[in-house]
């Protein structure tokens, strides 16, 4: 187990999708950054990640799933950019 001020990082490349998953342990939390073409598109932080999980046999019933649609995100970014008033500087 790492001390409270130690850090650890790992990365996973998914070349076919031009994506990278970066996991970083700092303090007691794990931050997972999802990168697309070198740009962060999603972050997940798991607090108390170093704390042992009791009753693991039932944990899958409480597991969370987060879906991110890059197509929806791209549309939202386009709508935002279209709505910008470039005359406001």
The pTM is what? 0.76
Taking the C-alpha atoms of residue 7 and residue 70, their distance in angstroms, rounded to an integer, is 30
pLDDT digit of tens for each residue in the chain (89 aa)? Answer: 344 445 699 999 999 999 999 999 999 999 999 999 999 999 999 999 999 999 999 999 999 998 999 999 999 999 999 999 777 65
Taking the C-alpha atoms of residue 35 and residue 39, their distance in angstroms, rounded to an integer, is 5
Domain ranges across the chain: 7-88
């Amino acid at each position: 187990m790492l001390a409270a001020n130690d850090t650890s990082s790992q990365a996973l490349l998914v070349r076919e999708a031009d994506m990278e998953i970066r996991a970083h342990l700092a303090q007691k939390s794990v931050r997972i950054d999802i990168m697309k073409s070198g740009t962060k598109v999603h972050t997940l932080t798991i607090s108390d990640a170093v704390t042992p999980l009791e009753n693991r046999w039932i944990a899958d019933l409480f597991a969370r799933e987060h879906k991110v649609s890059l197509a929806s995100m791209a549309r939202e970014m386009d709508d935002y950019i279209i709505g910008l008033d470039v005359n406001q500087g």
